[in-house]
Amino acid sequence: MEAITSFGVLTTKLFKGVPSKEHLRSNSNTHVRRSHISWGRGFSISNVINNTRPIMSCNALESESTDEPIVFDPKNNIAEPPPEWKDWEERKRQEELDSNGGIAIRRRPATGPPLHYVGPFEFRLQNKGNTPRNILEEIVWNKEKEVTKIKERKPLVSLKKGLPSAPPARDFIGALRARAEETGMPALIAEVKKASPSRGVIQPNFDPVKIAQAYEKGGAACISVLTDSKYFQGSFENLQAIRDAGIECPLLCKEFIIDAWQLYHARSKGADAVLLIAGILPDRDIKYMSKICKVLQMAALVEVHNVTELDRVLGIDGIELIGINNRSLETFDVDIKNTEHLLKGDRGQRIRDKDILVVGESGMFTPDDIAFVQRVGVRAVLVGESLVKQDDPAAGIARLFGQDIAIRSKVKTMVA
């Protein structure tokens, strides 16, 4: 059967005002045996369903002659497609996750646009120049190149030799547990962050040491320091400067870790904990890197965003600290109820049985937000934007929690 025949049947169902196959044939010298659908960057079936992509073009792969591509404008011509399309797209996404160990982010550019089939005809998802599909993928690809270059200048052997002179590691998880016990509220990991891809520059008058000192004064149990330079305008120099300034709060190196080399680098700069993102790391890497962290006496904060990632992490032995990010790192959309969704039912019980400390991340701006995540099972929160943009971060912490948690902590310590 000629592919154009089936395609004509399909388009009769999906497109309004599209010429019939007989009309197409009568006005063309082309006998199409296979069709090539070119969709442009970022295409997905949902794009077509929601009319968010302006052009779909159909080119003949095999023909007796070549004419201009047939171009459809979905905005004007597309009708409501059958629900099976959404089901098909979800199945394809799940197949990709399964084949990549639950990871939606590609670690390296694809060698070419993948071939897909809809019924009897085929099409390719064009990805000209092998460009990233979203901001997280772009960050990860850039990080791979960045780490490769730095490793050439400072190989792992030299990093290991320098570790004895690094500042001693402090108990990151212990600090969180102690502060939560002291205050009766989630312990605070306050973040030192100048900018982000979604917000741009957050704090133009950025002084990492002064901000960290204000956080400590305001009652933070630990401090997170962004070290990515290209997308967050952070640096390892900031991390080292905060450590050298005598800040007593344990420090989390907030980085996109994709290589074990980065763990040793973070420890050499004074980090007491590192972030491992389940969305970009396969299970074997999370297991391997978690073991390295234990050897280096660093905590590993394993971050998840959805049920699939949480199930993967709960299946790994030895995990002590899980962060639930309410922000999708693919779309940067935020929903604080994501924490509640992930901690419901059996998953929440497994976390309690394992005595895993849960950190709520993103979307917390008010005392009600803090109370909400505490109620659903969070024992620590990581907060950046709502604090770092304050002229007085210590006062910002008090407003966030609805009270001065630093004063409560000091009083209880003195009584003890």
Question: Is the pLDDT at 160 greater than 90, yes or no?
Answer: yes
Residue 78 is given by DSSP the state B
In a domain, 216, yes or no: yes
pLDDT in tens, 307-328: 999 999 999 999 999 999 998 8
Query: Within a domain: residue 173?
Result: yes
Are 276 and 163 within one domain? yes
Report how far Cα 324 is from the mean position of its chain's Cα atoms. Answer: 11
Q: Is residue 255 part of a domain?
A: yes
Looking up tokens 């900031």 gives 238
Give the confidence band of 333 by pLDDT, cuts at 50, 70, 90. confident
Per-residue pLDDT at 12 exceeds 60: no
Q: Encode pLDDT of 31-80 as tens digits.
A: 433 334 334 444 444 444 344 444 333 343 443 444 443 333 444 444 55
Are residues 232 and 159 both part of a single domain? yes
pLDDT of residue 42: 44
**Contacts (Cβ under 8 Å, ≥6 apart) of 65:** 29, 30
Q: What is the mean pLDDT of residues 170-190?
A: 97
Task: Answer yes or no: do 119 and 27 share one domain.
Answer: yes
Question: Which three-class secondary structure state does DSSP give residue 176?
Answer: helix
Q: Which of 87, 105, 129 is the last residue of a domain?
A: 129
pLDDT band at residue 85 using 50, 70 and 90 as cut-offs: low
Say if residue 319 is in the same domain as residue 402: yes
Q: Are residues 107 and 161 in the same domain?
A: no
Separation of alpha carbons 120 and 2, rounded Å: 9
* Candidate from 30-39, 141-150, 209-218 with smallest mean pLDDT: 30-39
| Residues 6+ away with beta carbon under 8 Å from 153 | none
Does pLDDT of 395 surpass 80?
yes
Q: Quick one: 160 and 26 in the same domain?
A: no
Query: Are the C-beta atoms of residues 192 and 242 closer than 8 Å to each other?
Result: yes
Q: Is residue 39 in some structural domain?
A: yes
Same domain membership, residue 112 and residue 207: no
How much is the pLDDT for 51?
44
Confidence of residue 399 (pLDDT cuts 50, 70, 90): very high
φ, ψ at 323 (rounded to 5°): -105, 130
Q: What is the chain's mean pLDDT, rounded? A: 80
Residue 376 placed within a domain: yes
User: What pLDDT is recorded for position 57?
Assistant: 37
Percent of the chain residues past pLDDT 70, beyond the cut:
68
**Pair 346, 353: CB distance under 8 Å:** no
Q: Is the pLDDT of residue 257 over 90?
A: yes
One domain, residues 168 and 87: no
Mean pLDDT within 266-273 = 98
- CA separation for the pair 351, 314 (Å, rounded): 8
CA distance 163 to 156: 11
List the domain range (segments joined by +) for residue 94.
3-129
Q: Is residue 134 part of a domain?
A: no
- Whether residues 102 and 240 share a domain: the answer is no
Tell me, yes or no, whether 107 and 9 share the same domain: yes
The secondary structure of residue 81, as a DSSP letter, is: -
In a domain, 351, yes or no: yes
Q: Are residues 314 and 341 in the same domain?
A: yes
108 and 146 share one domain: no
Domain count, the chain: 2
CATH number at residue 261: 3.20.20.70
